[in-house]
Amino acid sequence: MRAVTAAQMRAIDAAAAARDGEVALMRAAGAAIARLIDRYAHGDGPIVGVAGNGNNGGDAYAALAAYAGGRRRIVYGDPAAEGSRARHDARWRARIAGVEERPLPVDANALRGAALVLDGVLGVNARLPLDARSAAAVAAIAASGAAVLALDIPTGTEPTTGAVDAHVVRAVATIALGRPKLGTLLDPARDCTGALWCAPIGMRDADAAGVDDPPAEVLDPAAFAALLPVRADESDKRSSGAPLIVAGSTQFPGAAVLCAWGAARAGAGYVTVAAPEGAAAALRAHLVEQVVVTYDERDPAAAVQTILDLTNRCSAIAIGPGLGLSDDSAAIVNGVVGGTTLPVVADASALYHLAKRLDAYRDAPLVITPHAGEFARISGKGTVAPDERLARVREFVDRTGIVTLLKGRTTLIASRDATHLNPTGTNALATAGTGDVLTGAIATLLAQGLAPVDAARAGAYWHGRAGSVALAHRHRGVVARDVAEALGEASLVAPQDPELIRLFSSR
Ligand SMILES: NC(=O)C1=CN([C@@H]2O[C@H](COP(=O)(O)OP(=O)(O)OC[C@H]3O[C@@H](n4cnc5c(N)ncnc54)[C@H](OP(=O)(O)O)[C@@H]3O)[C@@H](O)[C@H]2O)[C@@H](O)CC1
Ligand SMILES: [K+]
């Protein structure tokens, strides 16, 4: 699903409003929001809306009008607000439905004890810094300690950049109307978003509107499930996906083990690991179902030949985890990546070695998976500030054509055609070896025939879910092996409601 800038959303809104009418859209928005209220309300208090003078405020009225859950409903708004026709319609229907109207300003005491506050102060047309009136409303909401469902965006966040104001709503959940706003997926705003839902409200065909640059995309559960390859009935072990893992060293054999586990648990039928002789004993002790082939890393030309010979019976390569930074491993990495026609996912040490020869890999079937430090080096443009990540990864991919998965709290996956924001993940994944598992999983998806960008975005999504599944089972102390073990369960997707899509849970 496309994640939109404020300008793109205005274009989409205008087209949808011209077709369906603003009143109908706001009624649909209200109905969708109302469906989420009981999920997040707790205690016996009222549901309280705080409405700004724009259509985001209109959504608060519309939701309270549509809510039929039997709780008391109150809305704070400006009685003299001019507002749009849709906002008038919503306000009128709220009044008829028995919603109590009170004038702004609202203070924290009035909100304390609410079962849920609906933040309808500002929506997609918000600018930072907030005006005094909006800031006062946000401050009251924040000080009340009440649970908040943010309408479209948490007020105080910038809808496109994800910047936050000094006064900002921290929501338990946000419901995007039409399309998710880019800012709600980006740090630092993402921590204010809570869980993110999207109600497409009649804009399902809107993705072509108002987009010139490569668009931002976010996977939803149904789209993820559709990307995962299904093993055919007549499959054999090689046609089920046969990745070759080139990884490990005397010092770091574990990276190869975890990469192989990631590949195997992602559903590969036949995993081959090629590793230096010094890693062989450790690998064979841990890998039973996988085939381990060794090479002499002090003879790079022979090592490359050994590895390329193996590729004849494989369908994708993962290269890099634990290989080390020696000149010999540089020769091996560039010899293999430059000498194969198979799709490749390169990580860790391989990124270090490929950085020197990027031009040779322009538009190759290659996925690289750097973290911020590795990206700073491979992009050749230094450290990446958190708010530059999106622009920097786009610049790099526009320049090189190499599909890039930039790890971070929000992992970004960019190809020439689009930038994907990965919505899944948990800080339980911040532990050694989880990146190796991800590389292995991506290798399997490549080996099963996914295009590089699809393997990268599906892999990142799946890995993030697996982290959450592992945490749910372990509660603490998740290790990388747990994440590989959780891939199976994390591949299960419950049937989705197309009218109300959960894009992510709070992290
Ligand atoms: N259109 C549709 O079809 C649908 C719309 N829907 C809903 O409408 C929401 C958008 O509503 P909206 O366009 O009325 O803008 P909203 O964000 O409520 O802001 C109101 C005004 O506040 C102002 N303002 C902002 N920041 C400011 C600042 N710092 N300091 C001072 N002023 C500031 C700014 O006015 P300006 O100053 O630019 O004249 C702005 O226009 C959208 O998020 C969704 O919830 C859904 O129901 C689906 C159908
Ligand atoms: K809002």
Residue 89 alpha carbon to ligand 1 centre in Å: 16
In a domain? residue 431:
yes
pLDDT for residue 21 is more than 80: yes
CA dihedral for 20, 23, 26, 31, sign (positive or negative) = negative
Beta carbon of 206 within 6 Å of any ligand 1 atom: no
pTM of this prediction exceeds 0.90: yes
Residues 181 and 248 in one domain: no
pLDDT for residue 343 is more than 70: yes
Nearest CA owner, ligand 1 atom 21 = 54
Residues 206 and 245 in one domain: no
Residues 205 and 280 in one domain: no
Q: Count of domains in the chain?
A: 2
Residues 46 and 111 in one domain: yes
Beta carbon of 150 within 6 Å of any ligand 1 atom: no
Beta carbon of 174 within 6 Å of any ligand 1 atom: no
Tokens of 199: 């109600």
Residues 187 and 309 in one domain: no
Supply the ipTM of this predicted assembly.
Answer: 0.98
From 195, 212, 229, give the residue that closes a domain.
212
In a domain? residue 229:
no
In a domain? residue 228:
no
Which strands sit side by side in the sheet containing 316-319, from one edge to the other?
2-3, 216-217, 419-421, 412-414, 403-406, 366-368, 344-346, 316-319, 243-246, 272-276, 291-295
Beta carbon of 124 within 6 Å of any ligand 1 atom: yes
In a domain? residue 174:
yes
Residues 376 and 434 in one domain: yes
What pLDDT is stored for residue 506 in this prediction? 75
Q: CA-CA distance, 232 to 240, in Å (whole number)?
A: 8
Residue 53 alpha carbon to ligand 1 centre in Å: 8
Beta carbon of 125 within 6 Å of any ligand 1 atom: yes
What is the CATH number for 137? 3.40.50.10260
Residues 283 and 138 in one domain: no
Tell me the pLDDT band of 14, cut-offs 50, 70 and 90.
Answer: confident
**Which atom of ligand 1 sits closest to the CA of residue 125?**
17
In a domain? residue 435:
yes
In a domain? residue 125:
yes
Give the pLDDT confidence of 451-495 residue by residue, as tens digits. Answer: 999 999 999 999 999 999 999 999 999 999 999 999 999 999 998
In a domain? residue 223:
no
- Structural domain including 96 reads 2-212
Element (H, E) at 133: helix 132-144
pLDDT for residue 334 is more than 90: yes
pLDDT for residue 205 is more than 90: no
Residues 154 and 257 in one domain: no
Beta carbon of 137 within 6 Å of any ligand 1 atom: no
Residue 57 alpha carbon to ligand 1 centre in Å: 8
Residues 11 and 86 in one domain: yes
Residues 194 and 243 in one domain: no
Give the pLDDT confidence of 421-460 residue by residue, as tens digits. Answer: 999 999 999 999 999 999 999 999 999 999 999 999 999 9
Tell me the pLDDT band of 301, cut-offs 50, 70 and 90.
Answer: very high
Residues 183 and 249 in one domain: no
Q: Are 369 and 345 in contact (CB under 8 A)?
A: yes
Ligand positioned closest to the Cα atom of 31: 1
What is the CATH number for 304? 3.40.1190.20
Residues 258 and 363 in one domain: yes
In a domain? residue 220:
no
